[in-house]
Every structure is written in structure tokens, then in C-alpha cells.
């Protein structure tokens, strides 16, 4: 490959609306695709099989999946190609086709034969950092120092003004440092992970990531960090909890720092308690890093307060993955129906019709406003506002699926007032930004201020 003795020319690509083709659906694809989706790229994955994380993206419609091996001509029409197959011969053929067509191609197995490289990247506030040094572990260390320096106000060289070293993977190195950190990654937007969570990710030797964790953060890890996919795809492939527990313990006892990266908060429907108990019983030290829970964060990002003066002083959170009346359900649905509290339902979309029927049968008015927020805090966030007696139909018609948060209660009318004051639409990303627009009561708004959310069926595709 010509040019390996010359420094690369660094370039930032704006891929919104552009086709990116990924050959291979394994661990490398799972690591690189989330950042591509954040950039707005239209991603097609060509692979006979997918890792659980990539399968989850395909099931959610975030990537297109061609369920087969690579064939000549697959690169056509792409702006960028990722050759991430496990077969070096396939990657070489993909790279040769892309090169002949003048398409940039990143090879995961042979940097020297790759026309394009993926830098060690990171983000602090509105600043993106990319480092290329020719030595991936060194690039990752430099990237970590720069990102930490930006976050703390230290110098970009990785030293704080007082001369203190910026924490990075090397700072925690040493024998016997093995342990486990359960890190809550927040509701989806990678910017909503805590500062401590980011710090531990930079120190990790092993990361065991859930499907709903902010997986774009994985692209910023060093190449020496082992990433284990513990995705649980709805009605699809699932990693048994007992296997995850064994992985946590075995890696920690081998002297590695293991970060268990979860969506939301580890102790809110995240089986964090089970994992802490498993580690302690095996003699492994555990650190729990709370996360921003989707319970409140996703409704907030859609303008739905869970409590509001004069409407309700309480809310109840329910895991609704088991239908009302089904074996294994421990939820007292009649009590929830008769109480005035806002209901926040997680994992509810599959059983939404049965839930709505049960609530209405036990006393919740059929006209109760409901808001369903899918992909909360992500660029693909969508919101459906409806009534309790129509919400299941409206959600099915709009094609909304998990992950989604369902809010049942009069507080949804407050979100209608918020969007009325915003001229009927949210502000630009990040979600949760609301910009004043038309004055309330003008024609064409999404509904009269204070009116019921379900006066007519409507979808707000934010």
C-alpha cells in the first residue's frame, strides 16, 4: 500500500444522509457503528451473522442488514466502507474494490494496507478530539489525556496547571488492581454519562456492555481494551445473567479492571444488585457509579414532567415486560388504575394494548393523556401523544418499538403547553432544549394550552 511512509492527512467527514457500508457484523462493527449513526450516516451492514449489539440496531431499524457474505460491487454508492470481516482475504478484496472506485476504506485487520484510519477519538463538551500516532495504544493514551485535560481545565498536554497528572489507564496500572465497576451510562445520549463513569471507562481493561448502554463511547476506548457484548435483544439473542456474573468475577480475579457499562442506572431494572452480590461472594471489590435513569430523563427530554403543581405530587415506576394477568406479573394494576399518580412504564410497548385495557377496566379514564417516547435523548427520538384508549393503535401505526418510555397521566398536558409555547416543535439537539416560538392560542399550534393530549390522534415526530 503506497503512502505508508508518509504522515496521514487528517480530515473530518460530514456523513449525514450518506451511505456507509460495513462488511462484517462482529465486535469491530459493534464498536464503530454507533459513532457513524451519531454522525447521521445511513449504515448498511453486510454479514451472514451479527453480534447481539449490531442485531439490536438492525432490529430497531437503525441499520440495514444484508444477511449474506461480501460480493463484488457491494461498495458501490458508498462514501465510506468499513472492512471488518474476520477473514483477511475478504477485507483485502473489499479494500481493493473501494480503492479502485475512489472510496475511502478502513481495514480493521491491517492498518498498513488501509487507505483510511479511524483515529482514537473522544469528546469533551462541543470539542471532538482525534489522535493518530501509528501506535493505537499510544494514541488512546494521548486522547485520554487531552479529553481529561479539556474536562478539568488542564493543559492539552495532559498536565493540570498545578502539575498533577491527568488520570488515564496508566495511572491505575499495577498488580492486584482487579475489580469491577458497575457504571450507569444514562438514557442513551453519551453526553449524559457521569464524569466518574467516563473516568472509569478510560481506566478499564475490560468493558462488558449492555445493548442500551451508550455504545458510541466504546469507539473511544483504546485498542487494548477488551470489549464484551452482553446485549439482550428483545425476543432475540440473550446473554444469560449467570454468564455475565462469571465474566465479571473471572476477569477481576485475573487482576483486570472491569467496567460493566449499563444503560440508565445500574440499580433501576438493571440487575445491578445481582452482580454486586455475585462479585462480593467471590471476594471481588465492586464500585457502583449511579447513572441518569431513563425513568425521569427520557420524559424530561420530551418535555413531560412527572410531577406538576396542581396536577400530581407522585409518580410510580413499573417494569411492564410481563403482561397484566400473566404468570410472573407482580404488579398491582387495579391499585395503579385507581391512584392519581403519574405512571411511568418501562419495557411496555409489547403489552401496551393489554395494559391500557386493564387500566381502563379498573378505573383510569379512557381519555387519560399518554406519551410514548422512543429512543429517548438520541437523535432518533420520537414521541407519540395519544389517549389511553387509542395509544396502542397509534404506537403500532407509527411503528414505535423498544426502547421506549410510556407516561400515563395528566402531566402529559403540560408537555402540550410546552410545545405550544415552542411553536409546536422542540429545539435542536440535545433533546430537552425548548425554544420559544408562537404565542399560545395562535392558529396551527399542536393544541390549546392546557387541553387534553388526546383530543385527536396525532404524532409528534421530534
pTM: 0.71
Closest CA to 83 of 7, 1, 204: 1
Q: Give strand pairing partners of 287.
A: 181
Helix, strand or coil for residue 76?
A: coil
The domains of the chain are located at 19-113, 125-166, 175-289, 295-460
Q: Are 245 and 272 in contact (CB under 8 A)?
A: no
Q: Is the peptide bond before 430 cis (omega within 30 degrees of 0)?
A: yes
DSSP conformation class of 166: P
Closest CA to 415 of 304, 300, 299, 298: 304
Indicate the fold that domain 295-460 takes in CATH. 3.30.950
pLDDT of residue 442: 38
Residue numbers in the chain where pLDDT is lower than 50: 1-3, 155-176, 428, 439-462
Helix%, strand%, coil% for the chain, nearest 5: 30, 20, 50
Is 110 in the active site? no
Tens of pLDDT along 309-318?
Answer: 999 999 999 9
The one catalytic residue in 109, 210, 389, 462 is 210
- What residue has cell string 488542564? 154
Asked if 19-113 and 175-289 have one fold, the answer is no
Q: What is the CATH number assigned to the segment(s) 19-113?
A: 3.40.50.720
Is 210 in the active site? yes
Indicate the fold that domain 175-289 takes in CATH. Cobalt-precorrin-4 Transmethylase; domain 1 (3.40.1010)
Burial class (CB in 10 A: 0-12, 13-18, 19+), 279: buried
- Side-chain-side CA neighbours of 344 within 13 Å: the count stands at 19
The one catalytic residue in 87, 99, 232, 357 is 232
pLDDT of residue 280: 95
Tens of pLDDT along 387-413?
Answer: 999 999 999 999 888 889 999 999 999
Burial class (CB in 10 A: 0-12, 13-18, 19+), 353: middle
pLDDT of residue 102: 93
How many other C-beta atoms are found inside a 10 Å radius of the C-beta of residue 112? 9
Amino acid at each position: 500500500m503506497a503512502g505508508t511512509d508518509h504522515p496521514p492527512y487528517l480530515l473530518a467527514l460530514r456523513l449525514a444522509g450518506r451511505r456507509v457500508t460495513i462488511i462484517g457484523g462482529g465486535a469491530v462493527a459493534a464498536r464503530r457503528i454507533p459513532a457513524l449513526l451519531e454522525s447521521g450516516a445511513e449504515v448498511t451492514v453486510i454479514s451472514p451473522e451479527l453480534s447481539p449489539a449490531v442485531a439490536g440496531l438492525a432490529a430497531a431499524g437503525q441499520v440495514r442488514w444484508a444477511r449474506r457474505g461480501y460480493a463484488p460491487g457491494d461498495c458501490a454508492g458508498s462514501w465510506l466502507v468499513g472492512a471488518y470481516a474476520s477473514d483477511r482475504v475478504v477485507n483485502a478484496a473489499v479494500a481493493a474494490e473501494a480503492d479502485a472506485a475512489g472510496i475511502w476504506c478502513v481495514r480493521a485487520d491491517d492498518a498498513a494496507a488501509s487507505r483510511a484510519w479511524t483515529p482514537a477519538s473522544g469528546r469533551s463538551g462541543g470539542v471532538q478530539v482525534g489522535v493518530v500516532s501509528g501506535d493505537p495504544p499510544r494514541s488512546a493514551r494521548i486522547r485520554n489525556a487531552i479529553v481529561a485535560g479539556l474536562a478539568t481545565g488542564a493543559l492539552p498536554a495532559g498536565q493540570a496547571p498545578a502539575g498533577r497528572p491527568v488520570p488515564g489507564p496508566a495511572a491505575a496500572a499495577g498488580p492486584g488492581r482487579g475489580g469491577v465497576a458497575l457504571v450507569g451510562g444514562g438514557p442513551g445520549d453519551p453526553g449524559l454519562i457521569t464524569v466518574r463513569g467516563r473516568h472509569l471507562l478510560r481506566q478499564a481493561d475490560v468493558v462488558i456492555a449492555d445493548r442500551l448502554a451508550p455504545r458510541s463511547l466504546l469507539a473511544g476506548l483504546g485498542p487494548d481494551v477488551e470489549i464484551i457484548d452482553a446485549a439482550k435483544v428483545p425476543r432475540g439473542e440473550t446473554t444469560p445473567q449467570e454468564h455475565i456474573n462469571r465474566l465479571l468475577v473471572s476477569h477481576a480475579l485475573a487482576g483486570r479492571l472491569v467496567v460493566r457499562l449499563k444503560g440508565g442506572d445500574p440499580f433501576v431494572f438493571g440487575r445491578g444488585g445481582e452482580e454486586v452480590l455475585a462479585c462480593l461472594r467471590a471476594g471481588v471489590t465492586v464500585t457502583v457509579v449511579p447513572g441518569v435513569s431513563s425513568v425521569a430523563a427520557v420524559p424530561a427530554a420530551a418535555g413531560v414532567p412527572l410531577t406538576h403543581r396542581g396536577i400530581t405530587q407522585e409518580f410510580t415506576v413499573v417494569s411492564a415486560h410481563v403482561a397484566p394477568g400473566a404468570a410472573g406479573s407482580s404488579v398491582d394494576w387495579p391499585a395503579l388504575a385507581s391512584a392519581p399518580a403519574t405512571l411511568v412504564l418501562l419495557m411496555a410497548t409489547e403489552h401496551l394494548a393489554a395494559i391500557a385495557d386493564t387500566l381502563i377496566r379498573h378505573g383510569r379514564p379512557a381519555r387519560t393523556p399518554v406519551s410514548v417516547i422512543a429512543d429517548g435523548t438520541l437523535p432518533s427520538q420520537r414521541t407519540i401523544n395519544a389517549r389511553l384508549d387509542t395509544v396502542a393503535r397509534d404506537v403500532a401505526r407509527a411503528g414505535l418499538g423498544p426502547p421506549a418510555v410510556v407516561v400515563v397521566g395528566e402531566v402529559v398536558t403540560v408537555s402540550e403547553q410546552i410545545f405550544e409555547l415552542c411553536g409546536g416543535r422542540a429545539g435542536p439537539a440535545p433533546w430537552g432544549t425548548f425554544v420559544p416560538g408562537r404565542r399560545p392560542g395562535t392558529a396551527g399550534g399542536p393544541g390549546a394550552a392546557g387541553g387534553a393530549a388526546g383530543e385527536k390522534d396525532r404524532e409528534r415526530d421530534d
